[in-house]
Structure 1
Amino acid sequence: MQLYRQALKTCLDWSGSRQQWYARARAIRAEFEANRNIGNREAAERMLTHGEQLLAEWKHPDPLVPPYYVGGTAFSRNPPMPEQIKIVMDFGREGAH
């Protein structure tokens, strides 16, 4: 299951649009479904190892990162203000009233 999810995420990194990704995702799903009922444990482990090797080969050098995750485009975009800076909320009224 984890290999399937990682394959979809890696495929999304390489896709230019969602339409391309949908077609590739269907192909990935079909391959997993074709090998779903393998009864031999050794064959299943061999296929899993092969899938992990393929995933490592296809790993994108600059994967997509959601904006709010570490390394994303909006992560820490608005960092907290330093403690020495004070915000005055009564701008324009200070000292007059």
Structure 2
Amino acid sequence: MSAVTAHTVRVQRLYRQSLKCLLNWCVHRDLFIVESLKLRADFEANRTKNDARVIEKLVSGGEAKLQEFAHPDAYTHPTDYGGTKYMRYVNNSAGYKESVTAIPPYFT
């Protein structure tokens, strides 16, 4: 994996984790959208940086800031690991169509 690709993947993961962390703090969708646009603007402001040392410093600072703002009681989907319905059988006897109760392929 080249350095550019590794850097790109690292920034993408940081952005995605930052959005998930932000969603834990901003419960209302309208507030989340406003704050996510500010977050995106922060990432876009540093998009044109080319110096590897500056990039490493920015990404490391972003990861540290993410750890600092981690929510103590983060939201967990019920069907995800740690959720209340993790590894439980989805009962289809309620009369719902199979397409409604089917587990999405990205969870399998």
Q: Same fold (TM over 0.5)?
A: yes
Q: Which segments of 5 or more consecutive residues in structure 1 lack a partner in the other structure? A: 80-97
Alignment correspondent of 2:27: 16
Q: Does 1:68 align with 2:79?
A: yes
Letter in 2 for 1:6: Q
Instruction: Report percent identity of matched pairs.
Output: 37
Q: Which segments of 5 or more consecutive residues in structure 2 lack a partner in the other structure? A: 1-11, 91-108
Q: Does 1:48 align with 2:59?
A: yes
Within 2, Cα distance between the matches of 1:40 and 1:70? 39
Work out which of the two has the higher radius of gyration on C-alpha atoms and give 1 or 2.
1
Q: Does 1:30 align with 2:41?
A: yes
Specify which structure has the higher proportion of helix.
2
TM-score, length basis structure 1:
0.75
What is the Cα deviation at residue 74 of structure 1? 2.7
TM-score, length basis structure 2:
0.68
Q: 1:40 to 1:71 in 2, by over 3 A?
A: same
Per-residue CA shift, 1:64-91, capped at 9, x if unaligned?
1111012223335559xxxxxxxxxxxx
C-alpha RMSD of the superposition:
1.5
Per-residue CA shift, 1:34-89, capped at 9, x if unaligned?
0001011100000001000100000001101111012223335559xxxxxxxxxx
Which ranges of 4 or more aligned residues in structure 1 deviate by more than 6 Å?
Answer: none
